[in-house]
């Protein structure tokens, strides 16, 4: 089949290549010249045969919203737009309703796989009507990982792809996926820090690598931590500043709205906020309070950023 793909960045470009390798035609457009096949969204639509499927793979928020709205002015009834970015699930109903007025279908696709997806395939969580999902199914089949086989050699269906529900369900599922990812990364990071903090353990990268086989905490994320430590054993080349894409926040917001306790995911989100502070105002207040009520020592910061000890306040 034909696929129009908007956004040929790290993930979009690899997705286009994987779909092409599966024997489908991909016509790509990107704002930056280079790998794009056409020079405009209009040119992309003109190059596709009806009924068209156009996959949007651009940053979430305004870039996605404006792209979907522009496509709504260019496409025809019976066409389908797929949002494969990390949009908030509440945007999906807005897009679907706007496009439905023009007879255009809409599918939201949560995509996981990162820069490794070209080689390994992508996990896909999609939302939309059965009719619209069916129009895109050949592309989903091309993108998802190869199906594993059972002990008898039979292919196990459903792995790597799920039609999660109506419009919005795909991005909601991906949001929760990323919230879990936050907590897993935080746990691995805390374990690494404790190992590195003691003199008893002499080979921290080796310990973490030993966990990748035969243990209950093995995972692809753990494999990637091993790779990072092989490249930089002390992680000295990077700072401890960690951004959040927004999906961790949205997961916690939904947990609050639905009264679902999420202490691990919430803590991992707040830890990212803490990573951006050179000197935490919260911990300054904690130190000041300890000094006030218990006479515990505090440290002052001189103009060069050093921390000479300050004598204890009388108890």
Which residue of the set 174, 253, 284, 312 is catalytic? 174
Regarding predicted confidence, which is higher, 169 or 303? 169
Is the entire prediction scored with pTM above 0.75? yes
Q: Is the pLDDT of residue 176 over 60?
A: yes
What is the arrangement of strands in the sheet containing 25-29, beginning at the earlier edge strand? Answer: 25-29, 2-6, 53-56, 80-83, 105-112, 123-127, 161-165
Which residue of the set 135, 144, 181, 247 is catalytic? 181
- pLDDT by residue (tens digit) across 85-131? 999 999 999 999 999 999 999 999 999 998 889 999 999 999 999 99
3 state DSSP class of 217 = coil
Can 88 be counted among the known catalytic residues?
no
Distance in angstroms (rounded) separating the CA atoms of residues 87 and 147: 27
Distance in angstroms (rounded) separating the CA atoms of residues 262 and 185: 15
Can 174 be counted among the known catalytic residues?
yes
Going by their DSSP bridges, the two strands 53-56 and 2-6 should be labelled as parallel
Domain map (residue ranges) of the chain: 2-166, 175-275, 280-315
Distance in angstroms (rounded) separating the CA atoms of residues 219 and 224: 9
- pLDDT by residue (tens digit) across 189-237? 999 999 999 999 999 999 999 999 999 999 999 999 999 999 999 888 8
Which pLDDT does position 314 carry in this prediction? 41
Q: Is the pLDDT of residue 143 over 50?
A: yes
Sign of the dihedral through C-alpha 273, 172, 121, 99? negative
2-166 has CATH 3.40.50.720 classification: yes
Name the CATH topology of 175-275.
1.10.1040
């Amino acid at each position: 089949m034909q696929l129009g793909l908007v956004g040929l960045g790290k993930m979009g470009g690899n997705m286009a290549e994987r779909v092409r390798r599966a024997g489908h035609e991909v016509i790509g457009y990107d704002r930056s010249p280079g790998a794009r096949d056409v020079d405009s969204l209009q040119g992309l639509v003109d190059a596709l045969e009806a009924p068209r499927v156009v996959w949007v793979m651009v940053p979430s928020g305004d870039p996605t919203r404006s792209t979907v709205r522009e496509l709504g002015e260019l496409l025809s009834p019976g066409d389908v737009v797929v949002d494969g970015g990390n949009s908030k699930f509440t945007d999906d109903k807005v897009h679907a309703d706007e496009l439905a007025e023009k007879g255009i279908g809409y599918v939201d696709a949560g995509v996981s796989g990162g820069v490794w997806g070209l080689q390994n395939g992508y996990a896909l969580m999609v939302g939309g009507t059965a009719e619209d999902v069916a129009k895109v199914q050949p592309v989903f089949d091309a993108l998802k990982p190869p199906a594993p086989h059972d002990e008898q050699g039979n292919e196990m269906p459903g792995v790597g792809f799920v039609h999660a529900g109506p419009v919005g369900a795909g991005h909601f599922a991906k949001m929760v996926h990323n919230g879990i990812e936050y907590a897993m990364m935080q746990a691995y990071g805390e374990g690494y820090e404790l190992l590195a903090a003691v003199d008893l353990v002499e080979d921290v990268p080796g310990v973490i690598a030993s966990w990748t086989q035969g243990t209950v905490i093995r995972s692809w994320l753990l494999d990637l931590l091993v790779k990072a430590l092989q490249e930089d054993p002390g992680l000295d080349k990077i700072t401890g500043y960690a951004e959040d894409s927004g999906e961790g926040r949205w997961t916690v917001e939904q947990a609050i709205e639905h009264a679902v306790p999420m202490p691990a995911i919430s803590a991992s989100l707040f830890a990212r906020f803490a990573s951006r502070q050179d000197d935490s105002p919260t911990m300054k207040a904690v130190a000041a309070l300890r000094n006030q009520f218990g006479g515990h020592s505090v440290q002052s910061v001189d103009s060069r950023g050093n921390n000479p000890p300050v004598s204890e306040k009388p108890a």
